[in-house]
Chain A
Amino acid sequence: MKQKFLFVFLLFALVLSACGTGQSASTPAVVRIGWGGGPDTLNPGMAILAVEYTIFELVYDSMYDLNLDGSFTLSIAESATASDDGTVWTFKIKEGLKFHDGEDLTAEDVAFTYNLYKDTPEYPYLNGYYTTYFDSIEATGNNEVVLTLTEAIPNIESQLVYLYILPKHIWETASPTEFDNVTMIGSGPFKLAEYVPDEFVRLAANKEHFATPPKVDEVIFQTFDNPDALVQAIKTGQVDMISSLPGTAVEGLKSESAVTVVTGAPFSPGPEDIIFNQIDPENCPVDEGGLCTGHPALRDRNVRLALAHATDKQKIIDVVLFGLGTPGFTLIPDGLGVWFNNTLTDYEFDTAKANQILDDAGYLDTDGDGVREMPDGSRALSFRINWDSDNSDYPRIAELLKEMWAEIGVALEPQAFDADALTAICCPTFDFDIMIWGWVSDPDPSALLYVYTTDAIPYGSSETGYSNPVYDELYNQQQVTLNFEERKEIVWEMQRITHEDVVYIIPYYAQAVQAFRNDRFTGWIIDQSKIELTDVTSLVLIEPVR
């Protein structure tokens, strides 16, 4: 009897809930986004994950907005003026800006926020990277913020773009590291309505936003642990957009008429790289634990060039990424927009040419075992190749390279390593021959360009040990060149040099794949080189399909 009652109750509840959800969908315009993650913290300072920044971009304003082409626009300030020597910046904050709780956003809040980021060393990015050049920040009576830098820098926009403006009246009494910020008062085009960790984030439109009031009423980000469920959810209309999907599902989803699949360079591109240990023994950072056991052949540009000619990048892209990538040149990916040197041409895949280069350089197979030897016959061209065992693409790349390079008499000894073990043999130890690894990128190219410098060798940022005085000089120059066009020229030249020297082989720049229901919302930005439908640029524009 009791069981029967329970059953009836369950049925009753199910019917009710089904009615409830059906009703709520009809009136307000709610965008339901399915994604593979979710924010771990809402405290901008403590955040590390890309998905956290996605939420911050929607809920907070910052000094500049990052556009999908890699350029910046001034956001909360009317004007930004630099002193003649470029070290003092004055930002005139717009009048009438409001936080979500109704309080005014003024220069006081901006100055407070910048000081908070500058004075909290526990903030891995916002302190560690973006406030490096901050000397002092002050608010003046005129709703102006005066930012004094320790030296002139060319990329103030990219330094400020992620420094989200926090309300002073809330944060001045909070502990910078312990504060969980679950009410998340910001000033951006969306305000936090509800946050359930590991389940969803619900944002409500801030229709009073000064620049970009959204046309929809709500955006919900729902966490899916299972990529197949994401695909299924968009197919059946349980969500309106998905921010990622497995490469295997792309073709199947394209055949759904109500779903549009879009691909493009990712918003925060992370280049993958095949690293050659080419450190000169003279540069070996012995004091920092350098062992420098790399194979001497890899110091020879001819060998690296031959390996580049023997690498069929398109095959790697087809096998590993199901075609969703473009061949890469240097650490600066196409996703960096204006900074990417699109005039470079790749080394064509040509095994005969690769063999010819090695023959001419004196690397011959003297003992007839199918593997070439050094010109002096001392060692075979047999290289260790290691990669991060957390990554499922790298073993496939290694396997393909082994096949491809065997064609030119080069042998590989593949072995996966735990990320920490890999760091230990990597840098500044240089106890390896070849590695496959990846970087995360910043909108400004400076951080990745630094990786190629001689200065970076003892700090463990240089993974190749590459050292080129001409390049080093250019790096220093671009750091102080305030004119955008001039700086761009230098950055492009630096890419040309490192591509020419075959410092790395960049197998590909992976593409982002996203999909949306074309019967639900319209207006997504899909005509730019970068694709990021979860970005504020799209979410403030879209509106329901009539």
Chain B
Amino acid sequence: MNRSRAILNKTAWAVFTILFVIVLNFFLFRILPGDPARAGMKDPRLKQEAIEALQVRFGLDKPVINCFDSLNPIKIGNCNVNPLETQFFIYIGNLFKGDLGISYDTNRPVSEMLSERLWNTILLIGAGQILSIILGMVFGILGAWKARTLVDYGSTGISLLFWSLPTFWLGIVLLFWGSANGFPIAGKATPGMSSYPLFQQWGDVLWHMFLPTLTYTIIFMGEYTLIMRSSLVDVLSEDYILTAKAKGVSAFQILKDHALRNAMLPLVTVIAINLGFTVAGAIQIESVFSWPGLGSAVFEAVERRDYPVLQGAFILIAVSVILANLLADLTYTYLDPRVQVE
């Protein structure tokens, strides 16, 4: 009973947070300066009629919200309109229909644009996460098991170095190295591959993934190794491990059955948090390698003030961070039954 109640409680909080983000997100972008019809453009040829037509197209001719006159100096809102005819209600209504609006720049539905990008990001970051988790755990366990030996110092030293590398810098270095060695340095596929057999297309994508995934893996592997190592070293010094050793349990079994499960807790937290931000994409990696993911979409949208895309991406990122945290919480209760909600 306690456990299902805890789950329910946490889920309710997550839903509440998401609703809050949705409302905040709307006002955030309405307070920012920016007129889509003029965003960053100064062109003597753009006529007033064209600007008005654009405003109608993006629904910006409607008042932001029903009545907000008291909230000067923000000066948004108009008391004499039907509340259902305001940008706010249209936004909420569309959101529940899965409609995130139309991009100012591409004139395409934001949800369509973001979902294409989302899969590319998941592909890249997913591969990077899996590789870095595996490698991080292996080196972390190795370091803890052989603590204070050359192996430990070596793996800890390298991990520290990897973790402290600036992502952008490492990306550029690998780009220079990779291009000199024949690796593709931009995009997700070779143009013109669509007429080839499917497995060859997949191979081409993997080929293009090599450099960005390598960059991502190196950066995150260091972090995971360090966390895994330090938490395992802690656990291995506990009394119950000593007891297990005294009972004559084999070293491998101690590690597998007694130490690892406890030592995983901090790593799970970090992985869950990282996974949440996965959706934001590794913005820097994607822009170095021109990977058409969500991160580069956000980057471009900021540059061009494409507010509907930013707004949609923010919701997506917020929701995924919240869900990932929820997932971490729930995994906790599984890994460590002592973790409960009061």
**Chain A residues near B (Cβ < 8 Å):** 10, 12-14, 16-18, 20-21, 24, 30, 32, 34, 40-41, 43, 46, 48, 121-125, 127-129, 177-178, 180, 193-194, 196-200, 202, 218, 220, 222-226, 228-229, 232-233, 235-236, 238, 390, 418-421, 423, 437-440, 442, 447-448, 450-451, 461
In order of increasing CB-CB distance, the 9 nearest A-B pairs are A13-B203, A17-B203, A128-B50, A129-B45, A420-B33, A40-B106, A200-B191, A225-B290, A128-B47
- Chain A residues with CB under 8 Å of B196's CB are 20
In the complex, whether B189 has a CB less than 8 A from a CB of chain A is yes
B34 within 8 A of A: yes
Q: Which residues of A contact B5 (CB under 8 A)?
A: none
Say whether, besides A122-B54, A225-B287, A199 and B189 are in contact (CB < 8 Å): yes
Q: CA A128 – CA B37 in complex, angstroms? A: 13
List, in ascending order, chain A residues with CB within 8 A of B187's CB. 199-200, 222-223
Residues in A with CB closer than 8 Å to B106 are 40-41, 197
The minimal Cβ–Cβ distance linking A519 to chain B, given in whole angstroms, is 17
Per a CB cutoff under 8 Å, which of A10, A129, A232 touches B176?
Answer: A232
Q: How far, in angstroms, from A418 to B34 measured CA to CA in the complex? A: 9
Give CA–CA (A13, B200) in the complex, Å.
7
CB distance from A480 to the nearest CB of B (A): 19
7 contacts between A and B (CB under 8 A): A13-B199, A20-B193, A34-B186, A121-B49, A124-B50, A224-B290, A439-B43
CB <8 Å contact, A198 and B292: yes
Q: Within the complex, what minimum Cβ distance (angstroms) separates A21 from chain B?
A: 5
B250 contacts the other chain (Cβ, under 8 Å)? no
Complex-state Cα separation, A235 to B176, whole angstroms: 10
The answer to whether the Cβ of B175 comes within 8 Å of any Cβ in the partner chain is yes
Identify which of B33, B172, B191 contacts A228 (C-beta below 8 A).
B172
CB-defined contacts of A442 to chain B, threshold 8 Å: 45
Annotate B291-320 by CB proximity to A: 1 below 8 A, 0 otherwise.
010001101100100000000000000000
Chain A residues contacting B53 (CB-CB under 8 Å) are: 121-122
Are A16 and B191 in contact, CB atoms less than 8 angstroms apart?
no
B108 within 8 A of A: yes
Does residue B105 face the partner (Cβ distance < 8 Å to A)? yes
Chain B 140-193 interface residues, beta-carbon cutoff 8 Å to A = 172, 175-176, 179-180, 182, 184-193
For the side of the interface on B, what is the size category?
A: 35 or more
Check: B93 CB closer than 8 A to any chain A CB: no
> Which of A12, A194, A233, A461 lies in contact with B44, CB distance below 8 A?
A461
How far apart sit A235 and B185, CA to CA, in the bound complex (Å)? 12
Residue of B nearest to A424 (CB): B33
Which of A46, A123, A229, A420 lies at the interface centre, i.e. has the most chain B CB atoms within 10 A of its CB? A229
For the complex, is B206 an interface residue (Cβ under 8 Å from A)?
yes
Chain B residues with CB under 8 Å of A180's CB are: 107-108
**Interface majority SS (helix, strand, loop, mixed), chain A:** mixed
B289 lies within 8 A of A40 (CB):
no
A40 cross-chain contacts in B, Cβ below 8 A: 103, 105-107
Q: Which residues of A contact B45 (CB under 8 A)?
A: 125, 128-129, 442, 447
| B 254-289 to A, binary, CB cutoff 8 A, 1 in contact else 0 | 000000000000000000000000000000001111
20 extra A-B contacts, CB within 8 A, seeds A16-B199, A194-B194, A224-B290 = A13-B203, A13-B207, A14-B207, A17-B203, A18-B207, A40-B105, A40-B106, A124-B46, A129-B47, A178-B107, A198-B292, A199-B191, A226-B175, A226-B289, A236-B179, A421-B33, A439-B44, A440-B41, A448-B44, A461-B44
Query: Is B3 part of the contact surface with A, judged by Cβ < 8 Å?
Result: no
**Known pairs A198-B292, A229-B289, A232-B175; A13 contacts B206 (CB<8 A):** yes
**A14 to B206, Cβ gap below 8 A?**
yes
Cα A442 to Cα B45 in complex, Å, equals: 9
Asked whether, in the complex, the Cβ of A127 is within 8 Å of the Cβ of B206, the reply is no
User: Could you say which of B41, B107, B189, B206 contacts A46, with CB atoms under 8 Å apart?
Assistant: B107
Taking A41-B107, A236-B180, A419-B39 as contacts, is the C-beta distance between A228 and B46 under 8 angstroms? no
* Cα–Cα, bound, A14→B106 (Å): 34
Contact partner of A202 among B43, B105, B191, CB < 8 A? B191
In angstroms, Cα B184 to Cα A205, docked, is 25
- Specify which of A177, A235, A438 is in contact with B42 (CB 8 Å cutoff): A438
Chain A residue with the shortest CB-CB distance to B176: A232
**B30 interface contact, C-beta 8 A:** no
**Whole-angstrom CA separation of A41 from B108 in the bound complex:** 8
8 Å CB interface, B16-50 against A: 33-35, 37-47, 49-50
Give every chain B residue within 8 A of A423 (Cβ-Cβ): 38, 42
Partner of A420, one of B34, B172, B199: B34
For B47, the chain A residues whose CB sits under 8 A away are 128-129
Chain A residues within 8 Å of B287, by CB: 225-226
Given A121-B50, A124-B54, A451 contacting B44 (CB threshold 8 A): yes
**Smallest beta-carbon distance B47→chain A, Å:** 4
A199 cross-chain contacts in B, Cβ below 8 A: 187-189, 191, 292
Residues on A with beta carbons closer than 8 Å to the beta carbon of B179: 229, 232-233, 235-236, 238
Residues of chain B contacted by A233 (CB below 8 angstroms): 179, 185-186
Report how far A178 CA is from B210 CA in the complex, Å: 38
Is A238 a contact of B46 with CB atoms below 8 Å? no
Asked if B202 is at the interface of the complex by the 8 Å CB criterion, the answer is: yes
Q: How far is the CA of A186 from the CA of B287 in the complex (A)?
A: 33
Q: Distance in Å from the Cβ of B130 to the closest Cβ of chain A?
A: 10
What chain A residues lie within 8 Å of B75 (beta carbons)? none
Check A229–B290 contact: CB distance below 8 A. Answer: yes
- Bound CA span A43–B50, Å: 16
Task: For the complex, give the distance between the alpha carbons of A223 and B47 in Å.
Answer: 31
Complex contacts, A194 vs chain B, CB 8 Å: 191-192, 194
- Check if B185 sits within 8 Å of A232, measured CB to CB: yes
Does B245 sit within 8 A of A, measured CB to CB? no
- Cβ of A225: which chain B residues have Cβ within 8 Å of it? 186, 286-288, 290, 296, 299-300
Asked if residues B50 and A127 are in contact (CB atoms below 8 Å), the reply is yes
B99 contacts chain A at the CB level, 8 A cutoff: no
Closest CB in chain A relative to B137 CB, distance in Å: 13
Contact A223 B43 (CB under 8 A): no
Which residues of B sit under 8 angstroms from A226, Cβ to Cβ?
A: 175, 186, 287-290
Task: Determine which residue in A16, A41, A437 has the highest number of CB atoms from chain B within 10 A of its CB, and name it.
Answer: A16
Contacts of A419 in B (CB 8 A): 38-40, 42
Looking at the assembled complex, report how far the CB atom of A65 sits from the nearest CB atom of chain B, in whole angstroms. Answer: 21
In the assembled complex, the Cα of A373 lies from the Cα of B4 at a distance in Å of 78
Q: Which residues of A lie under 8 Å from residue B46 when comparing CB positions?
A: 124-125, 128-129
Residues on B with C-beta less than 8 A from A238 are 179, 184-186
Q: Name the distance in Å between B189's Cβ and chain A's nearest Cβ.
A: 7
Instruction: Report whether B54 and A16 are in contact in the complex, using a CB–CB cutoff of 8 Å.
Output: no
**Chain B residues whose C-beta falls within 8 Å of the C-beta of A32 in the assembled complex:** 191
- The answer on a CB contact under 8 Å between B44 and A447 is yes
A418-B292 in contact (CB<8A): no
Q: How far is the CA of A433 from the CA of B234 in the complex (A)?
A: 65
Residues of B within 8 A of A121 (CB): 49-50, 53
State the CA gap A423–B39 with chains docked (Å): 10
A82 vs B128: C-alpha distance when bound (angstroms): 65
A220 adjacent to B199 (CB under 8 Å): no
Q: Which of chain B's residues has its CB closest to A28's CB?
A: B192
How far is A124 from B54 in the complex, measured between Cα atoms in Å?
8
Contact check, A16 vs B200: say whether CB atoms are below 8 A apart. Answer: yes
A34: chain B residues at CB < 8 Å are 186
Query: Could you say which residues of chain A place their CB within 8 Å of the CB of B113?
Result: 197
- With A and B bound together, what is the CA distance between A200 and B194 in angstroms? 12
Which residues of B have CB within 8 Å of A421? 33
